[in-house]
Amino acid sequence: MRNIIICVLAWGSHFTLNAQSVRSIVGAGKAINPYHYTVVKKGDFSKASVGSAHPLASMVGVAMMRKGGNAFDAAIATQLALAVVYPGAGNLGGGGFLLGRKANGELIGIDYREAAPEKAHRDMYLDKNGNAQLNLSQAGHLASGIPGTVAGLFATLPYAKLSFKELVQPAIDLAEKGFAITEREASSLNSTRESFIKNSTRPSALVKEGKWKAGDTLVQKELAATLKRMQKEGSRGFYEGETARLVVEEMQRGNGIISLDDLKNYTAKLRNPLEFEYRGYQVISFAPPSSGGILIAQMLKMIEKYPVGSYGFQTARSVQLMIEAERRAYADRAEFMGDPDFYKVPVKTLISDAYIEQRMSDYTPEKAGSSSTVRAGQIKESEETTHLSVMDEAGNMVAVTTTLNNGYGSRTVVGGAGFLLNNEMDDFSVKPGVPNMYGALGGEANAIVPGKRMLSSMTPTLLLKKNKPYVVVGTPGGTTIPTSVYQAIVNLVDFNMNADDAINKPKFHHQWLPDEVMVEADFDGETKKQLQSMGYKVTNRGGIGRTEIIRVLNNGKKETVADKRGDDSVAGFMP
Ligand code: DON
């Protein structure tokens, strides 16, 4: 007999949970019940906190800190838990970026972005007439880059305090014993069902007879076995041996090209974070192969000389200025950004004061610019990702954005290994002038080359105030990611908002091409009309981003907020 409990969640959403057998997944004291949990949208915590896309994952992160771990332990354990409880974007088969700041001020950037396999080549998605075949770059075996996440987790381990064995155990339990799925998860698994069947060559735990419903238990035995191999053998338990063999066999059953050597040779890379100032705050963000850090640096610097705060939040005046900064920065993204190990990205120039001044020289207040006249600058020189924010008692700050690309990635579940592969190859420029699934364009800088990492928009970001930890922030959302982070920072700094409003107020997005302003449904109607009368094309779209933010308050507490747009949830603890 199954007992069904109805839980009413914060923000009015609800789902049913199956409390059939209550087993906790994390030990003594603060047990986590995977069949009965609640979405918590915000909290002020004096010790440590986590915000992530799923309540169970946030609770796992906090449990590791209670056990004596730090923010890096929490980031590892939360990502592993997300790979189980949030299969749409949490992952072993994807990649990401971790940005950390240790309490002693040391900055850490770990790039575990997927890379193009050795057999990849620049025209691999063109048919014989030279037409782009986006169906191949966006789904199925050929869409996957070499997964980077597991290498990233092990590259983070030296900064953590607990053993990997301990950090992976909650994820193993969640996969092996199962957990109750939310209504949102049930509905997205149902709507992806046909795509899983089409793109996988073996049955998977994500597809079941009939429809998923809220409260059903999702058990993933094969995924648990993969996690156990990692627990026993470290990263070799993923990149070599049984797991690698299963990935390559999956590739051979489809039309994939990832080889045993591709997996064995993959490494995470340390990247120097990008640092700049905005109105006296120090901003730290991710450098290429993310475009995110450069974009937010450009956009914030472009608006810095204007008194944005006095224009008012979401007035036509402030929005128009911010849009024109977005237009110019995104035009540069298409031209100048790619993997810095393969293409010289002119980072310093792009964020220099002189260049920013020149980029805004043709800005006209109250008149829409045009993306046919605003192109990339002149340089003279030789929807599913997931983000988690963590802060601990010592003052370590960690921001991680990780992804399979869109929801459930390539939709290919590795037969016998139980994890989804990414469809990140679509983030390369498949053909100059052909937009990817987020409408982003690119050229030489982001062309496919074996071993190269595809350009990303992921923007894990930290803010310091007078050199002290202030904010950890980031979000999914494809090309809208830098926009969301940019607007969160402006909301905090220029409009003096609290963390909740900074991420949950309506957003707008312009990415150069298409030449339009996309706005969320609750965007101010009057401002929309005024923008239209200035000459902007304004279109409505669904939610922009799912941001997780932690902000240190004057009393030292960590104001932790999860985006209202999903099942995102915070957890934390007091003394
Ligand atoms: O790295 C990138 O920019 C994309 N693969 C991110 C995709 C994403 O955020 C989808 N989420 N909604």
Closest C-alpha to ligand 1, atom 4: 478
Total-model pTM? 0.95
CA 499 to chain centre: 19
Pocket of ligand 1 (CB under 6 A): 383-385, 403, 405-406, 424, 427, 456-458, 476-478, 481
Compute CA distances 215 → 17, 42, 158, 183, whole Å: 4, 23, 37, 7
Per-residue model confidence (pLDDT) at position 381? 53
Separation between Cα atoms, residue 551 and residue 572, nearest integer Å: 13
Tell which atom from ligand 1 comes closest to the C-alpha of 545. Answer: 12
Per-residue model confidence (pLDDT) at position 16? 37
Rg (CA), the chain: 22
For 290, which DSSP code? Answer: B
The secondary element (H helix, E strand) that includes residue 404 is none
- Give tens-digit pLDDT for 413-451: 999 999 999 999 999 999 988 999 988 888 899 999 999
The secondary element (H helix, E strand) that includes residue 111 is strand 107-112
Separation between Cα atoms, residue 168 and residue 176, nearest integer Å: 12
Closest C-alpha to ligand 1, atom 12: 383
Separation between Cα atoms, residue 344 and residue 412, nearest integer Å: 34
Per-residue model confidence (pLDDT) at position 24? 54
For the chain, 575 residues long, give each residue's pLDDT as a single digit of tens. 222 222 222 222 333 333 333 345 554 346 899 999 999 999 999 999 999 999 999 999 999 999 999 999 999 999 999 999 999 999 999 999 999 999 999 999 999 999 999 999 999 999 999 999 999 999 999 999 999 999 999 999 999 999 999 999 999 999 999 999 999 999 999 999 999 999 999 999 999 999 999 999 999 999 999 999 999 999 999 999 999 999 999 999 999 999 999 999 999 999 999 999 999 999 999 999 999 999 999 999 999 999 999 999 999 999 999 999 999 999 999 999 999 999 999 999 999 999 999 999 999 999 999 999 988 887 665 467 999 999 999 999 999 999 999 999 999 999 999 999 999 999 999 998 899 998 888 889 999 999 999 999 999 999 999 999 999 999 999 999 999 999 999 999 999 999 999 999 999 999 999 999 999 999 999 999 999 999 999 999 999 999 999 999 999 999 999 999 999 999 999 88
Separation between Cα atoms, residue 89 and residue 83, nearest integer Å: 7
Handedness of CA 555, 560, 564, 570 (dihedral sign): negative
* Ligand 1 centroid – CA 424 distance (Å): 9
CA 198 to chain centre: 26
Closest C-alpha to ligand 1, atom 5: 405
- Give tens-digit pLDDT for 219-277: 999 999 999 999 999 999 999 999 999 999 999 999 999 999 999 999 999 999 999 99
For 197, which DSSP code? Answer: H
Handedness of CA 312, 315, 318, 323 (dihedral sign): positive
Query: What are the residues whose beta carbons fall under 8 Å from the beta carbon of 97, sequence distance 6 or more?
Result: 109, 110, 111, 112, 113, 286, 290, 400, 401, 402, 456, 458, 460
Compute CA distances 169 → 85, 300, 469, whole Å: 14, 41, 30
DSSP string covering 135-168, please? HHHHSSGGGPPBP-HHHHHHHHGGG-SS-HHHHH
Cis peptide upstream of residue 289 (ω within 30 degrees of 0): yes
Active site residue 38: no
Beta bridge partners of 4: 18
Please tell me whether residue 400 adopts helix, strand or coil conformation: strand
